[in-house]
Amino acid sequence: MPTRRQMLLAAAAASLAPRFALAKASQPATAVNFEVPAGACDCHTHIHGDMREFPMFAGRVYTPEPALPEEMAQLHKALRMQRVVIVTPSVYGTDNSATLWGMKARGANARGVAVIDDKTPEGELDAMGRAGIRGIRINLATGGAAPDPAAARKRFQAAAERMQARRWHIQMYVTLPVISSIKDLVLASPVPVVFDHFGRAQAALGVGQPGFSDLVELLRSGKAYVKVSGAYRVSHQGPDFADAAPLARALIAANPERIVWGTDWPHPQWTKRMMNDAEEVELLYRYVDGDTALLRKILVVNPARLHGFRA
């Protein structure tokens, strides 16, 4: 006869099992309403594996549902995205196993961005480079605490020195105040820098908000890229997030050679409504006012240069 403890553990496992066994990552609810250029790249996605095989970091601040390689393939078939960049999410700490698993499933059309620390050995970086990792991510935004600019400068300098020999880029999920605090370091950086999700500018504050001009200056310098992705992270005006459009257009106008885009699939921590990923890519089409040459630059040419795809 099972003990009370065994019964409690079984009940807890049963309560979790449906969530992780049956939950499905988001898929487009409609067809994309414009011609997506050949070789298009979704530059910001995540893979969340089965927790029994890919355990998550104990200090994580959220627990996402699974987002599997086959679900990602289904997503990109619907969106007509040939290429993908898979980014290790904060829930895995410095364990990049799930990202590498997703990249292997996608083959030559995949690249990755890893999370490392000062204990990550050079041999591990070498192996990840052979697998298609082309950058590292510094995340100073997930977790809620206000980032320390001095700590941000220290982390950026250490990352730039380590990445210089590899020519990998540094991807950063940070706020505008942090971007302003490291502007001089980015301008002097030996490797490209990529700022996630509009540099976390707040759409409601418009293009005149403090720090946005620094982001624009970094774009114009050619030293930094910006992802016009995750509009729902910077705007509360869903479903079309119209107040994010002026930010996107200002960034694109500053330097269209340094703009990339991504779905942010499977939309971790987004609970306000189920995302329609077709609408996500259609936002980009509106940002460029249907300019097909500009669209190809953002979806094909710029990602190829940054991540080492053949354009």
């310098």: which residue's tokens? Answer: 221
pLDDT digits (tens, 9 = 90+) for 52-62: 999 999 989 89
pLDDT digits (tens, 9 = 90+) for 55-108: 999 989 899 989 999 999 999 999 999 999 999 999 999 999 999 999 999 999
Segment 170-197 mean pLDDT: 97
Q: What is the CA radius of gyration of the chain?
A: 19
Using DSSP bridges, classify how beta strands 110-114 and 224-227 pair: parallel, antiparallel or unpaired: unpaired
- The answer to whether 86 touches 107, Cβ cutoff 8 Å, is no
Q: What is the pTM of this model?
A: 0.90
pLDDT at position 207 over 80: yes
Report long-range pairs for 234-239 (Cβ below 8 Å, ≥24 apart): 234/197, 234/198, 234/200, 234/201, 234/202, 234/203, 235/203, 235/204, 236/203, 236/204, 237/203, 238/272, 238/273, 239/273, 239/276, 239/279
Length of the chain in residues, anyone? 311
In degrees and rounded to multiples of 5, residue 135 shows phi and psi of -170, 170
What residues have CB less than 8 Å from 100, skipping those under 6 apart?
Answer: 112, 128, 131, 133
